[in-house]
Structure 1
Amino acid sequence: MTVTIYHNPDCGTSRNTLGLIRNAGIEPVIIEYLKHPPDEATLVDLIAKAGLTIPAAVREKGSPYRELGLDSPSIGNQELLEAMLAHPILINRPFVVTPLGVRLCRPSELVLDILPQPQQAAFTKEDGERVIDEQGRRIQHG
């Protein structure tokens, strides 16, 4: 059983997602996608299997999205894809691949839907939000 995370260690959501994977007793394959970006076929496959459109997989905040003119209504999917490949910081994160599916884990708790093993202990995100209780159950907020 392989679990893969397309990870950015500078991103809190990505770190929390990795923490939840490890809290299930799984040591994933970690791909630091800014250093080792996916090729076009892999990126298209991740986006499709996650049930997203290409525009939904583009990271706008903290990226050169506007500077590159990608917010123009005339920009098509292929141009967005090419920009993501040229500037991996534009790829939203973290994508996680498990035997149960692919998700863009924003928020990080979305990874719980595709982990093949249950949480083993309590888990608190970096911002202090408790998401898993002492019995390994997801805490429902709101």
Structure 2
Amino acid sequence: MITIYHNPRCSKSRGACELVKERLDQAAEPLTVVEYLKEPPSVEALKALHGMLGGAVRDMIRDNEAPYQQLGLDDPSLTDDQLYAAIAANPILLQRPIVVRNGRAVIARPPENVAALFD
């Protein structure tokens, strides 16, 4: 099962979807596309994504979006739980696209990062 956290207005996200669909033709795996702006992930789902991505929670955050500045998310004293809550309440902050396969995830910026999930 492959899941893509996708924003159809984003060219990188569309590119990652195309790459995954090309791979799916070969792998015959089911695909779920989550338009996360319409269906925001819960705090629990964000924690699970973070566990698959590894790295810092801040790596999941788009720091060039208006809510980032408005909420003061550049404050280094914020906890991971506060950052998860901010993303859940403002899904535009979630890096995109995120592709999940077999318990692993990548931020597909650039879209070619998806290939790591098929190696």
Q: CA deviation at 1:100?
A: 6.3
Alignment-derived partner of residue 51 in structure 1: 54
Contiguous gaps of at least 5 residues in structure 1 = 117-142
Q: How many residue pairs get matched? A: 115
Q: Indicate the structure whose relative CO is greater, using CA pairs within 8 Å and at least 6 residues apart.
A: 2
Alignment-derived partner of residue 44 in structure 2: 41
TM-score of the aligned structures, taking structure 1 as reference length: 0.74
TM-score of the aligned structures, taking structure 2 as reference length: 0.87
Q: CA deviation at 1:28?
A: 2.1
- 8 A contact 1:7–1:33 mirrored in 2: yes
Whichever structure has more helix as a proportion of its residues is 2
Taking only aligned residues, the RMSD between alpha carbons, in angstroms, comes to 1.7
Q: Which has the larger radius of gyration?
A: 1
Identity %, equivalent residues = 37
Q: CA deviation at 1:99?
A: 2.1
Question: Deviations for 1:27-68, whole angstroms, at most 9, x for unmatched residues?
Answer: 621000010011111111111111121111111123420121
Give the one of 52, 60, 63 matched to 1:60: 63
Contiguous gaps of at least 5 residues in structure 2 = none
Change (3 A) 1:63 1:105: farther
